[in-house]
Amino acid sequence: MQPLAIHADRLLTPFEDIVDGVVVVQGSKIIEAGPRGRVVLPRGARQITARGKTIVPGFVDVHIHGAGGRDVMAGNAESLEIVAGTVARFGTTSFVATTVTASLMETCDSVGGIARFMLKSSETAARELSAEILGIHFEGPFISKARRGVHPQEWILAPSTEVLAQLLQEARGTAQILTLAPELPGALDLIAAAREAGLVVSLGHTDANYEQAQAAIAAGATHAAHVFNAMRPFSHRGTGVIGAVMTSPRVSAELIADKVHVDEPAMRMLLEMKTPERVILVSDGTSATGMPDGKYQLGNFQVKVSGGVCRNAEGKLAGSTLTLDRALRNIVAMGVPLASALRMVTANPARQIGLGSRKGVLAPGADADLVFLDDKLEVAGVMTRGAGFDQA
């Protein structure tokens, strides 16, 4: 396959800021990325120039439920392809398909479907613009009834290693993240079992106090789902799970940076406390992402979208219509340097799920997942594993 050399005004790898750079792609992989003067182009390489653009790694979303009118819980190839195709247009080139709490039977069906789709698509190289599904994030069923948000109460379960084993069996090696409430009886045993199975354990939809959250972190939890949302609130004499997450350096914090879920001063506190290395921007996107206002499904319940904000029948926030390109612009608009903000949608999420050398980075051997940003940080072009891109 003929190598493709793409020249651009700037590359953000995101660890290095390179002026006048070139990314060389062969098939689905990056084979070289660096300053124009230092990269030796392979013989016969086709060359194109992305004038006025910055090339950055494709975004990695570790918490997303759907897009383009489809929910990942549908679990069928058609729906998953629509979700993957929709988010790719906004620069998300890979994601972790996230379940919502549903009956165990329904969850098993969804997980089985997603796993089947993933294992099948890994055999065939994508030829169109389409994000890669990297695994499954279980949001529930082991969450707090007091902090369930819009997750249906009737399907919430007490922590159970047997139920987890059942979910893992359906997932056939594709499970990545388990979000749970650590204060529930049996949660520490569940954390041990999840760690044993290689999952990232995430604190979320939780009413945990500081001590309970610390115990979970000591037991191996390293992640926190959409921090501030669906958590016991912070108080100076009862700092709760937020206090534990903020002061534990090895815990990464998800943030829904749509300016609706979390107010700007709280976002600033999180960025200061966790540093750009430990913040992961997520969309928590629903099927309404990339669609006009209206009524949509989230798992097996309906949400209403008005002005781009998703709420359920009770008026509770129900996920978002956020895309990671917008999240990135929102963070940069707060004064955060682009290179730092970029880590929060690329290298940080990729590293958290153990894919730091394949995703979220412009480097030899990484997947050719590229986003071309214009000077307003709008997405001007996207490449997914070498496909779907002609001219920036």
Q: Which residues are catalytic?
A: 284
3-state DSSP assignment of residue 234: coil
Strands 17-26 and 279-281: unpaired
Contact by Cβ (8 Å): 348, 277: yes
Q: Which helix (H) or strand (E) holds 158?
A: none
Token pair listed for 297: 């499904």
**Half-sphere exposure (Cβ direction) of 20: Cα atoms closer than 13 Å:** 3
For 295, residues 6+ apart whose C-beta sits below 8 A from its C-beta are: 302, 303, 304, 305
Strands (E), the chain: 4-12, 17-26, 29-35, 46-57, 59-64, 66-67, 70-71, 92-99, 132-139, 175-180, 200-203, 223-224, 252-255, 279-281, 294-298, 301-306, 309-311, 370-373, 379-383
- The CA distance from 241 to 211, in Å, is 8
- The CA distance from 241 to 259, in Å, is 22
- The CA distance from 297 to 290, in Å, is 14
Please list the residues that pair with 6 across neighbouring strands.
Answer: 23, 48
Strands 46-57 and 294-298: unpaired
